Chain A
């Protein structure tokens, strides 16, 4: 157990639907990063939150959004789902803004859109 908890582990849903992925960071970590891993694109950075505030955006689609709550857990919301959104979604946490502090990864949520 890495200390980063992601739920659910697996999710199967239909096109056009909306889902929410949840991440609880390692105790003491203030930063949460979301990554998408797909077969064609590999691992890509989506978005980062630090202590409740959005700090950086990567290749995140407008249909996707995220937030970090006062208890520091984070949720990634994916809407109007398409077949191409099928991927592994990872959350990672870090003590601070991540740069050179190291990261702890969760076990991921596997999303299948049918």
Chain B
């Protein structure tokens, strides 16, 4: 069973700062997902990665398959980026078995 660890658990930063959230996992995967959850509950999929790097606006996600590690970066952070960011993995073990989630990083961006 895959274990997914995220760090930090909580992060408070000032508007404009560069933010990095880390995720590591224990066994092989077919894909890694970064999700965003705002207060009030809804989950939005930000990125799906199986290799390399992806960029969308101010968000950048990278993955190193050999090191079993991924990072989510936010450039020029803004208070509207305040949310919980969750790393989740699709295992490459046989059979479709849903996502395994990290515990999330609670990010607060102060004006």
Contact = CB atoms under 8 A, between A and B. Distances in A.
Interface of A: 2, 31, 33, 35, 42-46, 48, 50, 55-56, 58, 88, 90, 92, 97-100, 102-108, 110
A103 to B, nearest CB: 6
Given A43-B86, A99-B30, A99-B90, A48 B98 contact: yes
A98 B50 contact: no
Given A100-B31, A100-B50, A45 B97 contact: yes
Contact of B45 (A31, A45, A99, A104): A104
19 contacts: A35-B98, A42-B102, A42-B103, A43-B99, A45-B97, A45-B99, A56-B95, A88-B41, A90-B43, A98-B96, A98-B98, A99-B30, A100-B50, A102-B45, A102-B48, A103-B99, A105-B42, A107-B42, A110-B41
Contacts of B30: 99-100
A105 B44 contact: yes
A108 B41 contact: yes
B41 A103 contact: no
A55 B97 CA distance: 8
Interface of B: 30-31, 33, 35, 41-45, 48, 50, 86, 88, 90, 95-104
Nearest to B33: A103
Nearest to B86: A43
A48 to B, nearest CB: 6
Nearest to A96: B96
A90 to B, nearest CB: 6
